[in-house]
Amino acid sequence: MQDISILLRPSSLLLLLAVFCLSYVLTRMVRGYALAGNLMDVPNERSSHTAPTPRGGGVAIVLSFLLGLLLSWCLGLLGGWQTLGFLVAGGLVAVVGFVDDHRHIPARWRLLGHFAAAAALLWAFNGLPPLPFAGTSWNLGLLGHLLALFYLVWLLNLYNFMDGIDGIASLEAITVCFGAALCSWLAGQVAASWLPVLLSMATLGFLLWNYPPAKIFMGDAGSGFLGLVLGGLSLQAAWAMPQLFWCWLILLGVFVVDATWTLFQRLLRGERLYEAHRSHGYQRAARLIGAHRGVSLSVAAINLFWLLPIAILVSLERVDGVIGLIVAYAPLVLLAVYLGAGRPENSTAR
């Protein structure tokens, strides 16, 4: 097992605290900027909130994490290529999202920026590593790299889609990162646990402003950034130990299943995919119970008490990754069907 002392030394712990504090302070500053510039998310018939709320707070996550990334490299906690990959790719997605938060960017140009950022991150990580499946290692070569490219772009966009009620995207990132860091540590890959912890601290500082009832929203700059970075962290973990990739996919299950099932249902009805809607399972659940907090906390609970134990078993190689993924996702698919994810908004849950 790798030495954990490097992650627990005073400089590392101080860096985590500094990233959390910086994120908290920056979120407050962005909120003031949004209020002064009237950068508000005004409710409409497609919204899940009822009061005008400042948006763009995810910039605080971006800046605090990227600064922490640079300092981590200076402390010898990260390699240069990893640092450069996250800086370039994460920065590009954040800039695209920030501009889109201020003035609309056509979907095709946003998607072009997303693919460019994903390609840069894949280049820094040398693409998709061989993955374990049914007791053997599968090297998909160029096909694997292409699949990884679309995987990153899909995670980026689904995170944007799933950021629709107070606190849900923040709690998802924190609990997934906590679970992934634990899996890496238990698997003996201590170094792969550092960045998930760093990202969780950057997100926690923002969550204190975003927790229901939210005082500020994340915006496209933050949600897209989180989706891409989480995908990049899953590839980083896969290169450290291949079965950890399945752990990440398992931990991301709530967002992956809800967004993918909803997209599939809307495709079947011929709807425009980038058209605003409120048909995700989590949105229907929030309307059903009349509150955001219960749904966001339920997502966190599913991550910690259902998905994490399965991911731990996979990380310890007690369960095959694909089997663990199927077991983890099966009830989530049933839940999405029960809630009516992707069905017309005026239809009732099953």
Stated as kind and residue range, the H or E segment containing 137 is: strand 136-138
∠ CA(233), CA(148), CA(112), 5° rounding? 100
Stated as kind and residue range, the H or E segment containing 30 is: helix 10-36
- pTM for the model stands at 0.93
Helix axes 194-210, 219-240, angle to 10 degrees: 160
| 157 is known to lie in a ligand binding site | no
**Hey, CA dihedral for 321, 281, 291, 209, is it positive or negative?**
positive
**Hey, CA dihedral for 326, 222, 281, 307, is it positive or negative?**
positive
pLDDT of res. 295: 96
DSSP, residue by residue, 206-218:
HHHHHSSSPSS--
pLDDT lower than 50: segments of the chain: 1, 350
Nearest to 121 by CA among 93, 161, 163, 143: 93
> What are 103's two structure tokens?
């003035």
pLDDT of res. 285: 93
Stated as kind and residue range, the H or E segment containing 133 is: strand 131-133
pLDDT of res. 305: 98
What tens digit of pLDDT does each residue of 176-224 get?
999 999 999 999 998 899 999 999 999 999 999 999 999 999 998 999 9
Q: What is the DSSP letter of 140?
A: -
pLDDT of res. 349: 53
pLDDT of res. 1: 43
Which residues is 136 bridged to in the sheet? 133
Rounded Cα distance between 157 and 144, Å, is 20
DSSP, residue by residue, 38-70:
T-EE---TT-S-SS-EE--THHHHHHHHHHHHH
What tens digit of pLDDT does each residue of 222-265 get?
999 999 999 999 999 999 999 999 999 999 999 999 999 999 99
| 126 is known to lie in a ligand binding site | no
